[in-house]
Chain A
Amino acid sequence: MQDPIRIVLAKIGFDGHDRGLKVVARLLRDAGFEVIYLGLRQTTDAVVAVAEQEDADAIGLSIHNGGHLTLAPRMVAAVAERELGVPVIVGGIVPDRDIQALLDAGVAAVLGPGTSGADVVAVVRSTVAPE
């Protein structure tokens, strides 16, 4: 039997909207993932340190107040700096027209408003283990 996928979930900086991230945490947990929930007010360095220590397969970042174009690339850079090779998935309020910019910046996948639970699970799974 395969080890469960381990994902670190966090919010960076000031943004306190944690409803979505908590729902995603439970969804993934119920789908058999191992969720390391860091919650609010994290720094990119703290998230990377936990991802490394916990040998995580992915990092899920939730962003709800318009800071995604700044915060997500910073997270990607922090992961690259430690050479973790762990994909960064961004969820939250991301308008369609910003998705390409995030992908170009190295974000592995974007889960926007209205994404179904099944899609969240499928996207995380396929991001960690393509095809």
Chain B
Amino acid sequence: MPAVNRRRFLTISAAAAGAVGAGAFAGRALQAAPLYRWEGIALGAGASITLAHPEAERIVGRALAEIARLEGVFSLYRADSALTVLNTTGGLDAPPFELLQCLTLCGAVHGATQGLFDPTVQPLWRLYADSYEAGSAPTPQAVAAMQALVGWGDVRISAERIAFARPGMALTLNGVAQGYIADRVAALLSAEGLTNVLVDTGEMHALGGHPDGNAWPVALDVAGTILPNAVPLREMALASSAPRGTTFDEAGTQGHILNPATGAPSAQPWRLVSVTAPQAALADALSSAFSLMSRDEIVAALAAFPTARLAYLG
């Protein structure tokens, strides 16, 4: 279903000091190191990593391995991922820690958004994707049937086993995993001693600021209109959702973010919702949830997350 696949890019830029001519802000070792650029495939899309570091190649290798490992946990497109196993068999023994952590976060956002953020909408999402793929909207009966399979409370989570209480249930972590992966890659690069890094897996996690001393200048794309330097990012993560950026139908009316309460795509008018938070995973989950909420509801929900801010809504 190419129509509903989000286009994702992984970009990691760090200390490209020489290129910008701001060597004064980079360490001595970084100054000496040539710019290393890797281009390839990660997270199912074209990706690039730019590093100026004497051991850039080794560090990039570690980052890619970590991404591959996390895809093995979260990917809905890999038949051997932990999430796919859970969805197809209805249970998963000794789940990866990352999955537990992500689900804990999902639970928190679920609670704070009156259940609007719900990873168990996957069967419903599947129905919409398959129906529009076949050329028509799903019937109300089919929507109702799939809605019956949605229910966060019916996911049993423990360190021994994650399981669904009812057959047919399934999870999607597409609203949080990209952010989570950005956080993990940032943590890995931070442990390697890198200071000024922007990890972009579709969601962003900034370590420090731009090597020129300013914050990372992040542009926003509001339905095709580029707002340059809309969010200056320093030691902070940013996630955005464009509810109508990707749609089920050709006409572009059926957005890809589904409301578990109505079983329908978001009724809110937002073209872009951007959230900053210390963790990209949290920002990612919140931006997904806010796509389904009014401004007042968003403000109310943000009270539960004092470190998160609404960076753009419109």
Is B a genuine binding partner of A? no
Q: Which residues of A contact B (CB under 8 A)?
A: none
